[in-house]
């Protein structure tokens, strides 16, 4: 299958190389519990759930930053076991603090392009197009410390998209921003992902944000994936009270 396949993946902390069964042993946390999920090429999937439910652990496992205790991460049919983080051709974007403060905006965005064989003119054209895409046309020479939090995350998004990752993994990228800005930016992030045809997994604890960003939303609780569906379908037919609660449909 093309795109991402997560097959029966478990992530445990405090276990020695996945040898603990059942996750019930003292000192062992099962952060991700036999999760299976697919993300088709060009699709944006959000992982939604409360703090501590295992969203980041799953994202990090896909990135190759966290070892799997069980299961497989497969991309375009290739099992990525043994493929290190930097060889997966995945992009990562986090909550904050990812920009190089001493590089200007243009050179931040160009960072991932520097190892690619592009002429200077091609590189500059790509930086210009990406800044345009994230609503920061003309910001090339701006210094990072002069940017607002929202502008910094727009630059981080442009930088993450620049090398055309085959999968972009976003971990609560808007959580440090205030609510109003977060809602607006969630829509803009979706436009940027769709316009660039980027396949993405977006982690959030905010159901409004998940619905604004994603084609499908996966609801997680205690390491388990409870339901995955389009936002409208989830709201119309939540599979359980728990799912309804996380969607803000109950008390
Ligand atoms: P979320 O992203 O949904 O907030 P996390 O994946 O960060 O959830 O955490 C899931 C569970 O795993 C939590 O119980 C958390 O305390 C635990 N956990 C996360 N990272 C580690 C770690 N490095 N070592 C031990 N436990 C961890």
Q: Scanning the structure block, which residue is given the tokens 């445990």?
A: 12
> Which one, of 122, 187, 180, lies nearest residue 154 by Cα?
187
The residue nearest atom 24 of ligand 1, judged by CA position, is 13
Instruction: Write down the mean pLDDT value for the chain.
Output: 93
The residue nearest atom 21 of ligand 1, judged by CA position, is 13
Instruction: Residue 26: count other Cβ atoms within 10 Å of its Cβ.
Output: 6
Question: How many residues in total does the chain contain?
Answer: 251
First to last CA, the chain: 40
How far out from the chain centre does Cα 5 lie?
15
The residue nearest atom 5 of ligand 1, judged by CA position, is 54
52: CA distance to ligand 1 center in Å?
A: 6
Pocket lining for ligand 1, CB < 6 angstroms: 13, 29, 31, 49, 51-57
Query: What is the rounded distance in angstroms from the CA atom of residue 99 to the CA atom of residue 164?
Result: 18
Query: What is the rounded distance in angstroms from the CA atom of residue 120 to the CA atom of residue 130?
Result: 15
Our mutation pick for probing the ligand 1 site, out of 13, 69, 202, 218, counting the most ligand atoms within 8 A of Cβ, is 13
Q: Tell me the CB-side half-sphere exposure of residue 13, using CA atoms within 13 A.
A: 11
State yes or no: pLDDT of 236 exceeds 60.
Answer: yes
State yes or no: pLDDT of 22 exceeds 60.
Answer: no
* Residue-wise pLDDT tens digits, 42-87: 999 999 999 999 999 999 999 999 999 999 999 999 999 999 999 9
* Residue-wise pLDDT tens digits, 169-212: 999 999 999 988 998 999 999 999 999 999 999 999 999 999 99
For position 29, what pLDDT does the model report? 95
> Which one, of 163, 161, 190, 162, lies nearest residue 174 by Cα?
190
* DSSP calls for 192-234: HHHHTT--EEEEES-HHHHHHH-SEEEEEETTEEEEEE-HHHH
233: CA distance to ligand 1 center in Å?
A: 29
Helix (H, G, I), strand (E, B) or coil at 57: helix
pTM over 0.85: yes
170: CA distance to ligand 1 center in Å?
A: 16
* Residue-wise pLDDT tens digits, 90-138: 999 998 878 999 999 999 999 989 888 889 999 999 999 999 999 999 9
Averaged pLDDT for residues 138-152:
96
Our mutation pick for probing the ligand 1 site, out of 52, 63, 65, 221, counting the most ligand atoms within 8 A of Cβ, is 52
For position 23, what pLDDT does the model report? 46
The residue nearest atom 27 of ligand 1, judged by CA position, is 13
Averaged pLDDT for residues 166-171:
98
For position 24, what pLDDT does the model report? 53
State yes or no: pLDDT of 19 exceeds 90.
Answer: no
For position 220, what pLDDT does the model report? 98
Q: Is 125 left (phi over 0), alpha (psi -120 to 50) or beta?
A: alpha
């Amino acid at each position: 299958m093309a795109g991402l396949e997560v097959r029966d993946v478990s992530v445990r902390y405090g276990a020695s190389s996945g040898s603990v069964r059942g996750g019930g042993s003292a000192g062992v946390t099962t952060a991700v519990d036999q999760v299976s999920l697919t993300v088709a090429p060009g699709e944006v999937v959000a992982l939604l759930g409360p703090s501590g439910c295992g969203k980041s652990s799953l994202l990090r496992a896909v990135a190759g930053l966290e070892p799997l205790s069980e299961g497989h991460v497969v991309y375009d049919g290739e099992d990525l076991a043994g493929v290190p983080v930097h060889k997966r051709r995945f992009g990562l974007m986090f909550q904050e603090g990812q920009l190089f403060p001493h590089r200007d905006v243009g050179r931040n965005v160009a960072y991932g392009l520097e190892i690619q064989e592009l002429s200077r003119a091609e590189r500059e054209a790509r930086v210009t197009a990406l800044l345009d895409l994230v609503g920061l046309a003309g910001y090339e020479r701006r210094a990072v410390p002069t940017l607002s939090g929202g502008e910094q995350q727009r630059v981080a998004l442009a930088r993450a998209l620049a090398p055309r990752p085959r999968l972009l993994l976003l971990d609560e990228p808007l959580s440090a921003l205030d609510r109003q800005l977060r809602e607006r930016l969630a829509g803009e992030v979706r436009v940027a992902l769709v316009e660039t045809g980027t396949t993405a997994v977006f982690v959030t604890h905010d159901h409004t944000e998940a619905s604004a960003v994603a084609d499908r939303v996966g609801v997680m609780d205690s390491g388990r994936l409870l339901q995955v569906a389009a936002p409208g379908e989830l709201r119309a037919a939540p599979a359980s009270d728990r799912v309804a609660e996380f969607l803000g449909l109950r008390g």
